[in-house]
Chain A
Amino acid sequence: MRVLSSANRRWLDLALRLALGAAFVYAGALKISDSLQFADNIASFQILPITLVNPFALSLPVFEILAGLLLITGFLGRPASLGILIISGIFVAAIVSALARGLTIDCGCFGTSEPSRARMWFDLGRDAVLLIAAVAAYSFQRTRSVPRSEVADA
């Protein structure tokens, strides 16, 4: 069942790609400008082993920027949107886990702020919205460029 017309779907796809891509490029740029602080943010979650904290702190912002740029341009939009979907899911799971363990931390998602539980709930809500948008963006990307094999299967 098609709820949206193809023109509306195109506009929604474009709006989602631009908004999500810009959000992730911005988030990545903030993190890359202060890797040390971001490493502290990652360590405060107490999830990753210490040996992986710094490599992750150096790589994740680059991933966010690259995936964001690819999503904006539409080049390799499918892996880019899936990548954003996966890391959004990881962010949501990490914050839920930190809340459940009673931690009071700063997630460092969009720059730094004072650690607070209220802020963590806000971060969780924002990341959940990003996750939903990423699911929609990936879904649009999949239907936008349906390969012949998939058409044949349908």
Chain B
Amino acid sequence: MGRFTNVGRDLAGVVGLAALSVLVGLAINHFSSQPLSMVYQSPQERLQAQLAELVAAPPFESFPADTIDLNQFRRVVEDRSALIFDARSSFYYGQGHVPGAMNLSRDHFARDYLRLRSTLEKAKDHPIVVYCSGGACHDSKMVAQALVSLGFDQVRIFAGGWDVWTAAGLPANKG
């Protein structure tokens, strides 16, 4: 009997620790420079919100994205015939990216867009290719959609992404 009572006492301690963690977690968030809202927003919803802040963007709707394969992408990189954007987070971009690619991350789209604004706004009717980590990632599609919403009309996706690029032993830049 006493054994169960003591487990009960330990469980009460765990509940107390959990309650304290909730309070401390909310307090840290309250004083954070970038607090989380209490209601979760998916990456798609955040990107929509960022876009809405950035410009009075048209409704953010899905579109059938044009994709290119490795050979086509390789030619684009070699010929520098399009602007190339890496939609992964700055951390992965820093670890390695396609030569000539600029980081326009899905995570911080508005911030990166503002940083690249002068380049981007001169390229409204230029070919653009966006990639992310690989076949299962959605970041390139979301960034491409955002660019189309902002009036860029020659946006394509390299669906194979970083995984296919590196698997083919092609060159990478760091930093």
Interface residues of A (CB under 8 A from B): 32, 35-36, 39-40, 43, 50-51, 53-55, 57-63, 66-67, 70, 76, 78-80, 82-83, 86, 104, 112, 114-115, 142, 147, 149-150, 152-153
Contacts and interface: CB of A to CB of B under 8 A. Distances in A.
Contacts of A82: 7, 10-11, 13-14
B36 interface: yes
B167 interface: no
Contacts of B40: 39, 43, 50-51, 53-54, 57
B59 interface: no
Interface in B6-60: 6-7, 10-14, 16-18, 20-22, 24-26, 28-29, 32, 34, 36-40, 42-43
B168 interface: no
Nearest to B40: A53
B3 interface: yes
A152 B34 CA distance: 54
Contact of A147 (B6, B16, B34, B133): B6
A80 B17 CA distance: 8
Nearest to A142: B6
In which size bucket is the chain B interface? 35 or more
Contact of A35 (B36, B42, B43): B36
28 contacts: A40-B42, A43-B40, A51-B40, A54-B36, A55-B25, A55-B38, A58-B25, A58-B26, A58-B28, A58-B36, A59-B24, A59-B25, A60-B21, A63-B17, A66-B20, A66-B24, A76-B17, A79-B14, A79-B16, A82-B7, A82-B14, A83-B18, A112-B91, A142-B6, A147-B2, A150-B2, A150-B3, A150-B6
Contacts of B170: none
A66 B23 CA distance: 12
A99 B34 CA distance: 32
Contacts of B32: 35
Contacts of A60: 21, 25
Interface of B: 1-3, 5-7, 10-14, 16-18, 20-22, 24-26, 28-29, 32, 34, 36-40, 42-43, 91-92, 133, 136
A79 B42 contact: no
A70 B12 CA distance: 15
Nearest to B133: A114
Contact of A104 (B6, B17, B26, B136): B136
Nearest to B46: A36
With most chain A CB atoms within 10 A of its CB, the pick from B12, B21, B38, B136 is B21
